[in-house]
């Protein structure tokens, strides 16, 4: 068994070396004709995303990001007033909940959040009161804790959807699920941060 694993590891190393040689040849050939563009390649997506989380200078900046996203949701809905609840829970473990009752996030938009890192529709809004625009607000919760759930019910839907994020599993993406029991009674969004 150990010999088979060793042979597989050796084959993997040989394949990686062959790929590197082939990439090096392509770059060298392209450079002969003059300057060439060398595209960026992300070798470890999870590590890049963890670095994005670390851009927040501390937990308060992460909390500010979540609250700002809630305030922006009210502004986008053209609501004159709205309440944002920030509640700590101490039992059974310390958690933090930020909740708003704006229009909520449609399932399709919630599903696209992990696929549109560093892209924000807020850049296109002609509203100077909307604050967010960097497209990394998804990671604000992970600046507070190791795991987060973004639960939302859009105004045009009766369904509640939840997006699970885990700091140590960012390279695997996020998990989207339909909440079967205990969904939101009203349209809005709840961000629950665990392992604070």
119-151 pLDDT per residue, tens: 776 656 666 666 666 677 888 899 999 999 999
Give pLDDT, residue 43: 85
Residue 153 burial (10 A CB sphere; 0-12, 13-18, 19+): buried
Residue 146: what pLDDT? 94
Cβ–Cβ under 8 Å, residues 140 and 134: no
Cα separation of the two ends of the chain = 42
H/E element holding 69? helix 59-76
Other CB atoms within 10 Å distance of the CB of residue 21:
10
pLDDT of 131 reads 64
Question: Which residue positions in the chain have pLDDT lower than 70?
Answer: 1-2, 5, 121-134
| pLDDT for position 93 | 85
What are residue 73's DSSP bridge partners? none
Please count the other Cβ atoms lying within 10 Å of the Cβ belonging to residue 46. 15
């Amino acid at each position: 068994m150990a010999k088979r694993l060793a042979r597989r590891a050796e084959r993997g190393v040989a394949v990686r070396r062959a790929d590197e040689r082939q990439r090096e040849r392509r770059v060298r050939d392209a450079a002969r004709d003059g300057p060439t563009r060398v595209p960026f390649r992300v070798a470890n997506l999870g590590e890049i995303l963890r670095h994005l989380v670390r851009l927040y200078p501390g937990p308060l900046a992460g909390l500010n990001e979540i609250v700002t996203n809630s305030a922006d949701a009210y502004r986008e809905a053209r609501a004159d007033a709205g309440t944002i609840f920030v509640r700590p829970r101490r039992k059974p473990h310390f958690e933090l909940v930020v909740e708003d009752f704006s229009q909520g996030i449609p399932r399709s938009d919630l599903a696209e959040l992990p696929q549109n890192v560093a892209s924000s529709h807020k850049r296109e809004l002609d509203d100077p009161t909307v604050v967010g625009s960097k497209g990394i607000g998804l990671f604000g919760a992970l600046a507070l804790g190791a795991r987060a759930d973004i639960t939302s019910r859009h105004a045009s839907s009766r369904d509640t959807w939840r997006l699970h994020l885990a700091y140590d599993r960012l390279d695997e993406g996020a998990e989207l699920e339909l909440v079967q029991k205990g969904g939101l009674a009203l349209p809005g969004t709840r961000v629950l941060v665990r392992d604070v």
